[in-house]
Each structure stands twice: as structure tokens, then as C-alpha cells.
């Protein structure tokens, strides 16, 4: 069962009258296809497996290690190693494979993001990563958690790891590019904007889609190249008119009238 992310439509332009209405959690979890919700017995089962390591603290006795993305990417204590071995052995007994177990815990992570229980979500994504470090959802979910905790650079770093293990995941690429655009708006850096454009071009190369084209339009809006911004906006509207961000359209119109005269 796959998990995908969708973006709430917003302009990314950061203009005062728009930014006030922009939700903090602009990335929300959404499943594609017919997803069967987790039963109570499945939930209890996952909590039983995840519980042993829940309270482990870092060396300073501060933040729980399990809530830090990828367990902090630091040397592990003997206690942590023992807990991980116990957890992996339990999963080996209860799942057909570690890949399946990893998907299971990633799905639980998305559930906790939906509930805004971010630390618990981070722990579940960490467990998914421990079971299978090629599971893009683990990095993706941790990136969403970091974004919602206002840790934008870390969110970008983690999503890049996700793209590295799933090079055909066009929605993840577009999410990553969206965060890079936001980072550029907050702290202008041409390299960040260039990387956002590259990710969007890759996404379109794999699967042409309205959302990626619209984000490319935003990239060129920020470059003040309004002709190309319109070109990409038209491609987005031709693929899926319902996906068009009207607020962004108005901002683009304010900079330059539609060369094709379609939008006024």
C-alpha cells in the first residue's frame, strides 16, 4: 500500500495579504487509491512492537532519541542496540518481510501526522527507516514532521534522501521543490531555486503533471521571467484546470497580462 503526499494549493509568493491565510501545515498526508484504514487490532499491534524504545533519551537526558530524524544519525548506546535487535526480531516474527513491516510503520507515521502527534509520527518513520533504509516514505514523512516543526533546512535534507532512493516519485520531487522555493523566499539563494527547478523538471520528465508545471511557473515568477512563468502556467492549466491556484494567477496577471489572452 503506497502513501502519497498532496500539497494544499497556495501561491508560495509570501505576499503579506496572502501569507496570513497560509496554513502552517501546507503539506498534508493523503493516500492514493482505495486505502483500508487501520483496524484497532492493527493499531494495538503496532504500538506493542514500537513501545519498548519509546522512552529512550539522548545522552543529556533531553529529547527522546526516537523523535529525532534517523535516530540522530549518531553512535548508538548498548541499550539502544539491544532495543533495536528486540524490535527487529519481533517484526521478523510478525511480518512476512522487513519491507512489509517498514511500510506498515510508515503508514502509522502518516496517521500520527494527521493527528498532529509529530513526535510519535517521527518515531514511527524512524522505525520504518530502521526496517528498510530504501523506503522513501520514511524520509518523506520525517521531512513533513520537520517542516511542521519549522525546521525547513532539515526537512529539505530529508526529502532529498527520499528522492535519492525513489527517483521516480514525482510527487515527492514536487514537495521537495516546494520546500526549496519556500526556503528561497525566506533566504534568497540562487542555488536553492536552481535545485527546485531541477527537481520540477525531473518530475515532469517522469510524469507531466499540472502541479509541477505550476511550481515551475512560480520559479520563473521569482526570477522575474514572466513570459516563461506564463508558458508553464498555461501548460499546467491545459493538463488540469481544476489544479490552478487562482491567487497565484492574479499575482502573475499583476506582473504581466496573459500573452495568450486566456486569463484576464
Domain boundaries of the chain, sorted by first residue: 37-166, 168-264
What pLDDT, on the 0 to 100 scale, is given for residue 65? 87
What pLDDT, on the 0 to 100 scale, is given for residue 219? 97
Least confident range from 22-26, 94-98, 171-175, 218-222: namely 22-26
Q: Band the pLDDT of 139: cuts 50, 70, 90.
A: very high
Angstrom CA distances, 181 to 19, 128, 189, 224, 254, stand at 14, 28, 10, 14, 20
What pLDDT, on the 0 to 100 scale, is given for residue 206? 96
Domains 37-166 and 168-264 alike in fold: yes
Prediction pTM value: 0.83
**For the residues 73-99, what does the mean pLDDT come to?**
93
**In 3-state terms, what secondary structure has residue 209?**
coil
User: Residue 165: pLDDT above 60?
Assistant: yes
For the record, the C-alpha cell of 108 comes out as: 502509522
Q: Spell out the alpha helix ranges (H) of the chain.
A: 16-19, 40-50, 78-94, 98-114, 118-131, 136-148, 152-165, 170-186, 190-206, 210-222, 226-239, 246-255
The architecture of the domain spanning 37-166 is Alpha Horseshoe (1.25)
For the record, the C-alpha cell of 186 comes out as: 525566506
Instruction: Say what angle helices 152-165 and 170-186 make with each other, to 10 degrees.
Output: 150
What pLDDT, on the 0 to 100 scale, is given for residue 48? 62
User: Tell me: domain 168-264, CATH 1.25.40.10, correct?
Assistant: yes
| Tens-digit pLDDT profile for residues 198-235 | 999 999 999 999 999 999 999 999 999 999 999 999 99
**For the residues 68-94, what does the mean pLDDT come to?**
92
Amino acid at each position: 500500500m503506497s502513501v502519497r503526499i498532496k500539497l494544499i494549493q497556495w501561491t508560495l509568493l509570501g505576499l503579506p495579504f496572502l501569507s496570513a491565510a497560509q496554513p502552517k501545515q501546507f503539506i498534508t498526508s493523503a493516500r492514493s487509491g482505495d486505502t483500508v484504514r487501520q483496524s484497532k487490532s492493527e493499531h494495538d499491534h503496532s504500538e506493542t512492537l514500537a513501545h519498548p524504545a519509546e522512552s529512550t533519551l539522548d545522552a543529556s537526558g533531553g529529547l527522546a532519541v526516537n523523535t529525532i530524524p534517523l535516530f540522530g544519525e549518531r553512535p548508538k548506546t548498548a541499550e539502544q542496540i539491544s532495543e533495536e535487535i528486540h524490535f527487529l526480531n519481533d517484526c521478523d516474527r510478525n511480518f512476512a518481510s522487513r519491507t512489509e513491516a517498514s511500510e506498515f510503520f510508515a503508514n502509522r507515521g502518516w496517521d500520527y501526522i494527521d493527528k498532529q502527534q509529530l513526535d510519535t509520527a517521527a518515531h514511527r518513520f524512524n522505525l520504518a527507516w530502521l526496517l528498510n533504509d530504501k523506503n522513501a516514505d520514511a524520509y518523506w514523512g520525517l521531512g513533513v514532521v520537520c517542516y511542521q516543526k519549522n525546521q525547513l533546512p532539515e526537512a529539505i535534507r530529508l526529502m532529498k534522501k527520499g528522492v535519492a532512493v525513489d527517483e521516480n516519485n514525482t510527487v515527492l520531487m514536487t514537495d521537495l521543490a516546494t520546500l526549496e522555493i519556500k526556503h528561497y523566499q525566506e533566504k534568497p539563494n540562487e542555488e536553492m531555486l536552481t535545485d527546485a527547478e531541477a527537481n520540477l523538471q525531473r518530475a515532469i520528465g517522469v510524469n507531466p503533471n499540472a502541479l509541477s508545471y505550476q511550481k515551475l511557473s512560480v520559479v520563473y515568477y521569482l526570477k522575474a521571467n514572466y513570459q516563461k512563468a506564463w508558458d508553464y502556467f498555461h501548460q499546467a492549466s491545459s493538463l488540469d484546470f481544476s489544479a490552478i491556484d487562482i491567487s497565484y494567477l492574479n499575482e502573475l496577471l499583476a506582473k504581466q497580462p496573459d500573452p495568450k489572452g486566456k486569463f484576464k
